[in-house]
Structure 1
């Protein structure tokens, strides 16, 4: 089995953006993503996971590096000023 080099893009942001992000992903050609609840402490303060009040989500996308860069650029332009938004990426080998 040959591994395909891809990029894992992880986005941590406020839960209120979930529906908007899903729309953005469709428009940007994302074919798959995983969204899960995220809790922790960071520069935007403590996120306790009280889902309706102050929860965060974590979004993972595996795609080629160019597509991940386009996603990051678009999300920065649309949300970075007004919402807590942390994005990071790393190379991964996709098997299967």
Structure 2
């Protein structure tokens, strides 16, 4: 099977949203995601996980464009105003398309 191009949505946000976002992502059609701890500095200062309220997470979702647009639109409309959150979207070449059945042609 040849490589396939899909979309990658990366979300960096407050760790307190992890369970809510995991449920939302699945409800909006993603079959899987990866969540890791994230640290760094940005518009809201240093986020170093020294205490629970300063923890950030990074969520990565690979899916078709329609699903990525649905998720990113929902997050912008429902979370941007009240939470520290940034989204990045990009094309990715999937080298094991069998892991993304339903998204790859």
Please tell me the TM-score bracket, short chain as reference.
over 0.9
Q: Is the 8 A contact 1:9 1:61 kept in 2?
A: yes
List gaps (5 residues or longer) in structure 1: none
Q: RMSD in angstroms over aligned alpha carbons?
A: 1.0
Mapping 1:55-74, distance limit 5 Å: 55-74=55-74
Output the CA distance in 2 between the equivalents of 1:11 and 1:94.
Answer: 19
2:26, 2:32 within 8 Å by CA — same for their partners in 1?
Answer: no
User: Could you tell me how far apart the structure 2 residues matched to 1:6 and 1:95 are?
Assistant: 11
Equivalent residue, structure 2, for 1:31: 31
Render the CA deviation track for 1:41-81: whole Å, top value 9, x for unaligned: 00121101225131000000001112111110001111100
Asked which structure has the greater CA Rg, the reply is 2
TM normalised by structure 1 equals 0.94
TM-score by length of 2: 0.87
Count of equivalent residues: 96
Give the Cα separation in 2 of the matches to 1:44 and 1:14. 11
Partner residue in 2 for 1:6: 6
The question of whether the paired residues in 2 share the 8 Å contact of 1:2 and 1:95 is answered with yes
Is the contact between residue 5 and residue 92 of structure 1 (CA under 8 Å) also seen in structure 2? Answer: yes
